[in-house]
Structure 1
Amino acid sequence: MNCATFPKYSLLDWFFTLIGVCTFLFDVGSDLWVARELYTRGELMWCGVFVGFMLLSSVVLQLFSWFWLQYDRDLKGFESQASAGNAVLFSGAKRVNLLLFLHVCQLGFFIRHISAIWQGFRVWWRKGCGSEYAVYLTHDLSMLRLIETFCESAPQLTLMMYIMLRSNHARLVQYVSVGASTTSIAWMVVDYHRSLRSFLPDKDKQGWLSSVVYFFWNLFLIGPRVASVALFASVLPCFIAAHFLLLWPIFVIWAWRQGTDFMDSPAGERLYRATIGLIWYFSWFNVAEGDTRDRSLIYHMFIIADTSILLTTWWLYRDAEMTQSYAFSLILSIPLCYVLGLLIKVLYYCCFHPKLWWPADLGKATYDVTDGVEPPVDVQVDGASFHTINKRMGRHAANFYTTNTSSAVKTNECVATNASVL
């Protein structure tokens, strides 16, 4: 085995994984602290809703994690790699039963972090050996963090803004918390996007300037969406659940109509489509092959119409006296921020989107891969021989970046099923 052929896993990657664990623990601790504050103030209903978001997110994450572990066991060599002392608590004949118990105890996501840290440390200690498996683990973590962001962080942020609006009073720390949460959500989308791009070969890496522009258009699109939902809830709290239950099935059906194929079983795919419906309630990202420009346009037009209805409802039902100091500013700034986000998104794809280079035998022409362009090359080959691919993320990268079925991606996906992770 030539360790030099594996995808590079740097010490910086290991530190980011370590920071991810710390962030995860801090997020859980801060959520429990907020729930305790709501409980002590006698707001039992909102305390229950807040904790409900935590439990829902945790259950969804454990289900995804367990499904993926089940699928990965079918990969040739994966079981021996995972049991070879490369992951904490992931060895021995009773490993599967232990993992099932940990997932039932809602610890599967945390154990994945620990496993990635341990494997990353071993890669650094062994100077590159096992790098491919470490990269495999980090890609799954990236997707799980994205799911957690929209299953827990976005709804909780909406609830925090609702409480501020209903009480018509907020401390400085609450403003800072809302700003930090919104920023964190937008940054998590950027982190996911950067992870997804690692499956594109012969590519210009996404630089810091490109990442910053990508971050801002997500910030200016997600922020107004969350704010408009919170404003609507502040005047008609009993109807916000009806609003979500009206839109969520529409998004799920749309995902089903697009023929998503992220998971490897019907049950897993149904879970994925249900999760996509929740994510689309707050933000857009592509999930299937096809003309993504048209889909994105349809989505944004739909969200603009829905947001306009939410803001109009808030304006008509608001307490004019209580909201006099900020009502006019909000009704203007929220639509303007969303439009600004769309303009920055167009600017990103026109000027800052990384380009792909065609392979040498196809010429040196550059190819700007947007959501609607097919990369004419294989995935997951940074100048290295193919050994394994996280086929879930590889398939998703193909769907995210292509319009037509990429034969290279499909070929590598079939090879991955029987490939060794060593």
Structure 2
Amino acid sequence: MEHATSSNYSWIDFVFSVIGVCTFLVDWGSDVWVAAEFYYGGEFFWFAVLVGLMVLSSVVVQMFSWFWLKYDRELPGFSAQTGGGTVLFGDQVKVSLLLHVLQLGFLCRHISAIRQGFKVWWRRQEGSKYAVYLTHDLSMLRLIETFCESAPQLTLMIYVMLRTNKARTVQFVSIVASTTSIAWMVVDYHRSLRSFLSDKAKQGWGSSLIYFLWNLLLIAPRVATLALFASVLRGYIAGHFLLLWSIFVLWVWRQRTDFMDSVSGEWLYRATVGLIWYFSWFNVAEGRTRGRSIIYHSFITTDGGILLATWWFYRDPVQTEPYDLALLITLPFTYLVGLLFKTLYYYCFHPTLWRPLVREPGLPNDLPDAEVSFRDFSIQDGTPSSQLLNKRMARHATHFYSVQGVISNNDSAARAELSHL
């Protein structure tokens, strides 16, 4: 039974890379435009908050990008794979570091992916494996950016609308577009994970739709609930975030994650996962995935209920009269429907990793979202038989796609097979 993943770089991969660059530039431009609107409108507090989110997100993404480039440089064959302009300034350490300090490393990765993808797809040159490798890293970086910047900014947009009690059509459109974009980025990440499965397990339209819907229906009410709470107790939302974030980071640490190749990098990853969990579930460790997921959603449901009840108690009945009852009913119902769609997905559409039927006692049943991670592939030397493996991504995939009760000593061989590019 074969489980090697496809390493062929297609026109779809190239289109996704181009769209990624366009999205990055449009998102950056829109952020600057909104920040300018706040500044020239005299709303300096919101200007500072927005700029702070932009800077935080950019710094986190650049740090991940630099850590990964640093790790990859230590792999055999890196210079051969990245020479000749394959990776923009990839063989110039000081220049690459300067670009990351100037917050341009992420953009350079996008440009490198497009250049290499164009050579492979249009000119039919060698390098398909490394083009796929670059695409996988970008997918993970976009996911990190989404939850470090887009999700907090969406919460801020809804909050400002509630506080000012003004809702223009453009604001509604922007909120809907942002929420949809966040859910789509999660699907894009999921699509990258799927590339580590056999062709028969590739994500179809039905599976993609269900996956998109349950993420949309879980993330949207979570963001709205946070904004509602902030609209009545603005001074407490920061404390709420820090409390939950600290709990989540502690939980990640307790799961003994090993996504990064250094201690400092691993703590950056754990801190980032804590931020992601503030908005959405993300499996990061081997073991009983279902149990952890139930604990997480039970906790978030309880937290959301408390936040919603707090908003209801402290709200201005006159100002919120047009929509308060509708939100009180719609938000919990939407979250419940999202959980039902998630259950439907895992029962009907979720692929499982192949595992030998013999299982040794005491070994974990499930593997994490992060285990088939983009960072787990290795670059080997340029011999004809060598394989280009993104171990980070492969590890996240094995965490995400797992089957209970079928892990054995051959697990490492199965993972190696799974992560072939």
Q: So what's the TM-score if we normalise by structure 1?
A: 0.88
CA shift in 2, pair 1:25/1:69, >3 Å: same
> What letter matches 1:224 in structure 2?
P
1:386 and 1:215 map into 2 onto residues whose CA distance is 36
The match for 1:211 among 208, 215, 219 is 208
**How far 1:349 sits from its partner (Å)?**
1.5
**How far 1:410 sits from its partner (Å)?**
3.7
The match for 1:122 among 97, 119, 122 is 119
CA shift in 2, pair 1:386/1:225, >3 Å: farther
The aligned runs of 1:126-145 (5 Å cut-off) are 126-127=123-124, 129-145=126-142
The match for 2:285 among 267, 278, 288 is 288
**How far 1:28 sits from its partner (Å)?**
0.2
Partner SS for 1:389 = strand
1:258 and 1:196 map into 2 onto residues whose CA distance is 21
Partner SS for 1:75 = coil
1:272 and 1:153 map into 2 onto residues whose CA distance is 18
Give unpaired runs (5+ residues) of structure 1: 363-370
Aligned residues: 395
**How far 1:206 sits from its partner (Å)?**
0.7
Partner SS for 1:32 = helix
Give unpaired runs (5+ residues) of structure 2: 358-364, 369-375, 378-383
The aligned runs of 1:1-400 (5 Å cut-off) are 7-91=7-91, 95-127=92-124, 129-201=126-198, 203-354=200-351, 372=366, 387-400=387-400
1:408 and 1:393 map into 2 onto residues whose CA distance is 20
> What letter matches 1:195 in structure 2?
S
**How far 1:408 sits from its partner (Å)?**
5.5
Q: CA RMSD in A?
A: 2.6
1:202 and 1:340 map into 2 onto residues whose CA distance is 30
1:167 and 1:133 map into 2 onto residues whose CA distance is 49
1:262 and 1:217 map into 2 onto residues whose CA distance is 26
> What letter matches 1:129 in structure 2?
E
CA shift in 2, pair 1:122/1:192, >3 Å: same
Q: So what's the TM-score if we normalise by structure 2?
A: 0.88
Partner SS for 2:209 = helix
CA shift in 2, pair 1:146/1:6, >3 Å: closer
> What letter matches 2:268 in structure 1?
L
1:71 and 1:135 map into 2 onto residues whose CA distance is 18
Q: Deviations over 1:4-59 (max 9, x none)?
A: x9711011211110111001000000000000111111110111000100000000
The aligned runs of 1:406-421 (5 Å cut-off) are 410-411=412-413
Does the 8 A contact of 1:17 with 1:116 survive in 2? yes
Does the 8 A contact of 1:8 with 1:128 survive in 2? no
Partner SS for 1:263 = coil
> What letter matches 2:11 in structure 1?
L
Q: Deviations over 1:267-299 (max 9, x none)?
A: 100000000000000000111101100000000
1:385 and 1:6 map into 2 onto residues whose CA distance is 16
* Identity of matched residues, %: 63
Q: Which residue does the alignment assign to 1:366?
A: none
Q: Deviations over 1:105-154 (max 9, x none)?
A: 00000000000000101112442621000000000000000000000000
CA shift in 2, pair 1:408/1:172, >3 Å: farther
> What letter matches 1:181 in structure 2?
S
